[in-house]
């Protein structure tokens, strides 16, 4: 196993353990979704799996790197406001 693949496999195992222990923050279904996607590509493309694990860690990374705020998921209220502005005259 290459060094890079080994790192991704270890990272995956750590994230899975975090979910299994209930020690995660945020909605678990999104974290499970990202782990599922990482597992689907892990064998053939460990770089893609690593990117899915980055998505798993996004909330924690945003605390460390405020510039990720631009990538945050909007609230339902923000979506409604933007939709109303765009669709204002269409409906």
**In this structure, how many other beta carbons lie within 10 angstroms of the beta carbon of residue 44?**
8
Tokens of 82: 């933007």
Residue ranges covered by each domain of the chain: 3-87
Question: Are 86 and 79 a contacting pair, CB within 8 Å?
Answer: no
- Tens digit of pLDDT at every position of the chain (91 positions): 688 889 999 998 998 988 888 876 666 788 888 899 999 999 899 899 999 898 888 777 777 777 766 566 777 888 888 888 888 766 5
Model-wide pTM > 0.85: no
């Amino acid at each position: 196993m290459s060094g890079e693949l080994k790192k991704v496999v270890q990272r995956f195992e750590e994230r899975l353990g975090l979910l299994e222990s209930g020690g995660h923050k945020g909605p678990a279904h999104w974290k499970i979704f990202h782990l599922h996607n990482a597992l689907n590509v892990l064998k053939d493309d460990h770089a893609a799996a690593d990117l899915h694990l980055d998505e798993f860690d996004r909330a924690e990374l945003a605390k460390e790197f405020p510039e990720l705020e631009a990538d945050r998921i909007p609230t339902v209220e923000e979506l409604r406001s933007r939709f109303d502005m765009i669709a204002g005259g269409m409906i």
